[in-house]
Structure 1
Amino acid sequence: MPNPKPNFLSFYKLLCFLLLTDVALVASKSTIEPCSNSDSCNALLGYTLYTDLKVAEVASLFQVDPISVLTANAIDISYPDVENHILPSQLFVKIPILCSCVDGIRKSVSTHYKTRPQDTLSSIADSIYAGLVSADQIREANSIDDPSVLDVGQNLVVPLPCTCFNGTDNGLPAIYLSYVVKPVDTLAGIAASYSTTITDLMNVNAMGGTSITPGDILAVPLSACASNFPKYASDHGLIVPNGSYAITASHCVQCSCGPGSRNLYCMPASLAVSCSSMQCKSSNLMLGNVTVQQSSAGCNVTSCAYSGYANGTIITSLSSSLQPRCPGPQQFPPLVAPPTYVTRDSVFAPAPAPQSDGATTATVPKTSTVPSTGSLPGFPPAGAPFGSLSNASTLMNSAAALPAALMMYLLAKLISPLSL
């Protein structure tokens, strides 16, 4: 009986099937928010330091204000020379960024990176920016034909993920954190760590199930206090996550969102800088001052509040109201010392997650189409924020991840008929 000839078509189909199956297993995803206007919003990135870095060096990686990095993490900025404080490797911090609408989707494109010797697109994406961007996204953003050739000192645009969702979550003020899933994470653990629910995370990220993969980038809604500054103010749209601070008005004003609060409270910052007047007109009250006077009808409350920063001027507003009872003292988020090491219980460490969330192993859909009306399984109800999922891996990357033993077996099966 003649030797059977190898069926190259069958082998090709089998190999393609295995490759595509592998893509489905390892391709990481990120949440994409479509947009159609030119507005922007405040957002946060969850970043893990790849090595020991000064506060100023971390800020330089993202082209943001070092003080804003500290206040976003409720780190005390009154420490001497705090901008040169060395933060430890593997520290997890929140980076405040501006989220824009670019080419029909939300992203941050204000970050640039200057290449150094031995840099590759993969090392920049996976190590330096801790998986917040992929090598392919950097290559496409900079129209790089040959990713194996990078010039030292080359200036690269680093597109970073972010979402706005109108600054709300279920109708309440929120700011969104782009969080890179770690191997120890579960959806239940992430939800618990950021005081939200599994359902909310699934709705926001258009997920069809609770399964997540290391490297996925989730949009995590954080309860926040929203400002109501006029549009002509440079800090219009300022929103501060619950339990943290924001610096504004050229370092003159510090705004906070106290524990369990929805009311933004602003006061003079502790930095020694030259600032415009912070006194409310027709009043002796300074920015942040509140007076209360008990009466038989209730409590008369007068306050001097911050209303934005425009043309180098701090805008203040005086308000008076009669309230049923006098307000208690302002609750401030607790400040922490600049961290010098990372522990599992550290407030800056990656969120610990339970080993199992008791959920099924349903997979997240590889692509999602946002419905225009109504709701579908795996999508949020009408009025809730929603995005779509985008694969960050490539077919070539997935092919490289195929087990070597499997590849050798397939090659042996193909060659063995020819050697008989």
Structure 2
Amino acid sequence: MPPHRPLLSLLLLLAAAVAPTWSKSTLESCSSSTACPAQLSYTLYADLKLAELAALFSADPLAILAANSIDFAVPDPADRILPAGLTLRVPVPCACSDGIRRVTSVRYVSRPGDTLASVASSVYGGLTTPDWISDSNGILDAKPEAVVDAGTTLFVPLHCACFGGVDNGLPAVYLTYVAGKGDTVAAVAQRYRTTATDLMSVNDMATADLAAGDIIVVPLPACRSSFPAFTADYGLAVANGTYAVTANRCVQCSCGPGNLDLFCVPAPLADSTCSSMQCANSSMMLGNFTLLMTSSGCSVTSCSYGGFVNGTILTTLTTALKPQCPAPHQYPPLIPPPTSSFFETYLGPSPTPMASEGGVDPMMVGMAPTSTPSASSGPPPAARYVVGDALGALALCLVANLLW
């Protein structure tokens, strides 16, 4: 006996209520053509080689490891398999496109069964929308669930933000974050060691309401470079507690944990193809420094990184007088590459910068490390798995069809 129409209508309404919707997001308007360094919080939808993950975002594999403080001197890093469910920070250039800040360098070749909705929500973890993809590729009147022809190259714009590279007057790198089930503004703020007030201000939120799928941006304290505008890595910024690889992988720069001063040394994988890293008119190499206590204070001479130009590594020799000699430089701890899927995020919140403690021997000489700082490991946090609302909608639709 066919069901009463009111029952069928109720089922269809329930299906519509749980069907996936595209959530609100923070968009930054822009007019400048200058890109800024930004990061994306991304959870792997499947086991992927590091090279595959890098290809998804047109990123350097070593840059991804460095941005997550994962040992980037391991053999064959691009072939390392990263487990599904792992959340990583992906460094990207954030450009200005059609008056909105977006990542504009990503291309994706569709596979059999791909839809605009699955590419947006599954492959790219909600960092874009079907509408953004269809508009950017001139696909007219495309439905989110319409299947894309396999082998189609899609331009995939992704959310990002710059906000001038500052937060409350201090250098910052902005992380794009897609809220999951159960996320709250307070919890996200605590996770990244900021405040709910700051997050709400940055994201122009009138209330602290946060729903699964909402896209917000999180300011991360950072070390910012002062390289000349003509250098290839002009504007380089490194989130506190992490690394960046630059100058054709010849130089590594780190930020913190003791302060927000950028510190650059030869990268572990630097080889004979790298240009000289010796400071002119000196025997000092990049990252070296000397300390000499005088009656007027501590004289600090250092060989610093000045940017990368046409294959040449620029170095600068400087001498400064400080009230007391700084403590030995501390590197952010490195962790080994992940081998298990039981991770919610591999990189914890950036440590709060602390003032340097005490002095050092007046004649201490600081040398650039000859290998990657030692890795430290610990028990991984438990993974968090989320079941999509789309399954509920599908089940209700099937019930409705059976009862029709």
TM-score scaled to structure 1, two decimals?
0.77
- Mapped to 2, the partners of 1:187 and 1:97 lie a distance apart of 24
Map 1:245-264 to 2 at 5 A.
Answer: 245-264=243-262
Aligned AA for 1:84?
D
1:303-333 deviation digits (Å, cap 9, x = unpaired): 0000100111101111101111001111110
What is the root-mean-square deviation of aligned Cα atoms in Å? 2.7
Does the C-alpha gap of structure 1 residues 50 and 149 become closer, same or farther in structure 2, counting only changes over 3 Å?
Answer: closer
Corresponding residue of 2:300:
301
Mind listing any 5+ residue stretches in structure 1 that lack a counterpart? 1-14, 352-396, 409-420
Tell me by how many angstroms 1:30 deviates.
Answer: 1.1
3-state SS of paired residue (1:185): coil
Aligned AA for 2:169?
G
Tell me by how many angstroms 1:22 deviates.
Answer: 6.7
When Rg is computed on C-alpha atoms for both structures, the one with the higher figure is 1
Does the C-alpha gap of structure 1 residues 176 and 336 become closer, same or farther in structure 2, counting only changes over 3 Å?
Answer: same
Tell me by how many angstroms 1:132 deviates.
Answer: 0.8
Corresponding residue of 2:43:
48
* 2:331 is aligned with 1:336: no
Give yes or no for contact 1:180–1:215 (8 Å, CA) kept in 2: yes
Tell me by how many angstroms 1:342 deviates.
Answer: 3.6
1:110-135 deviation digits (Å, cap 9, x = unpaired): 00000111111111111111111111
User: What's the % identity of the aligned pairs?
Assistant: 52
Alignment match of 1:157 (pick from 155, 177, 182): 155
Tell me by how many angstroms 1:401 deviates.
Answer: 6.6
3-state SS of paired residue (1:267): strand
Give yes or no for contact 1:91–1:349 (8 Å, CA) kept in 2: no
Give yes or no for contact 1:41–1:98 (8 Å, CA) kept in 2: yes
* 2:196 is aligned with 1:201: no
Give yes or no for contact 2:231–2:307 (8 Å, CA) kept in 1: yes
1:4-59 deviation digits (Å, cap 9, x = unpaired): xxxxxxxxxxx9xx99x979x96511111111121110000000000101111100
- Mapped to 2, the partners of 1:224 and 1:260 lie a distance apart of 12
Tell me by how many angstroms 1:80 deviates.
Answer: 1.2
Give yes or no for contact 1:51–1:88 (8 Å, CA) kept in 2: yes
- Mapped to 2, the partners of 1:345 and 1:294 lie a distance apart of 47
Aligned AA for 2:326?
P
Corresponding residue of 2:57:
62
Equivalent residues, number: 343
Give yes or no for contact 2:297–2:321 (8 Å, CA) kept in 1: yes
Corresponding residue of 2:317:
318
* 2:85 is aligned with 1:86: no
Corresponding residue of 2:182:
184
1:354-373 deviation digits (Å, cap 9, x = unpaired): xxxxxxxxxxxxxxxxxxxx
Map 1:20-31 to 2 at 5 A.
Answer: 27-31=22-26
Aligned AA for 2:265?
M
Corresponding residue of 2:235:
237
Map 1:15-414 to 2 at 5 A.
Answer: 27-145=22-140, 146-147=142-143, 148-273=146-271, 274-343=273-342, 347-348=346-347
Give yes or no for contact 2:193–2:349 (8 Å, CA) kept in 1: no
3-state SS of paired residue (1:156): strand
3-state SS of paired residue (2:204): coil
Give yes or no for contact 1:91–1:348 (8 Å, CA) kept in 2: no
Give yes or no for contact 1:26–1:213 (8 Å, CA) kept in 2: no
- Mapped to 2, the partners of 1:308 and 1:241 lie a distance apart of 18
Give yes or no for contact 2:88–2:345 (8 Å, CA) kept in 1: no
Aligned AA for 2:85?
Q
Give yes or no for contact 1:292–1:301 (8 Å, CA) kept in 2: yes
- Mapped to 1, the partners of 2:157 and 2:187 lie a distance apart of 28
Corresponding residue of 1:381:
none
- Mapped to 2, the partners of 1:201 and 1:26 lie a distance apart of 23
- Mapped to 1, the partners of 2:314 and 2:155 lie a distance apart of 35
- Mapped to 2, the partners of 1:216 and 1:169 lie a distance apart of 21
Give yes or no for contact 1:342–1:349 (8 Å, CA) kept in 2: no
Q: Tell me which stretches of 4 or more aligned residues in structure 1 moved more than 3 Å.
A: 342-351, 400-405
Aligned AA for 1:118?
G
Does the C-alpha gap of structure 1 residues 68 and 229 become closer, same or farther in structure 2, counting only changes over 3 Å?
Answer: same
Does the C-alpha gap of structure 1 residues 402 and 114 become closer, same or farther in structure 2, counting only changes over 3 Å?
Answer: closer
Aligned AA for 2:150?
V
- Mapped to 1, the partners of 2:107 and 2:341 lie a distance apart of 28
Mind listing any 5+ residue stretches in structure 2 that lack a counterpart? 1-9, 351-388
- Mapped to 1, the partners of 2:248 and 2:35 lie a distance apart of 20
Aligned AA for 2:334?
L
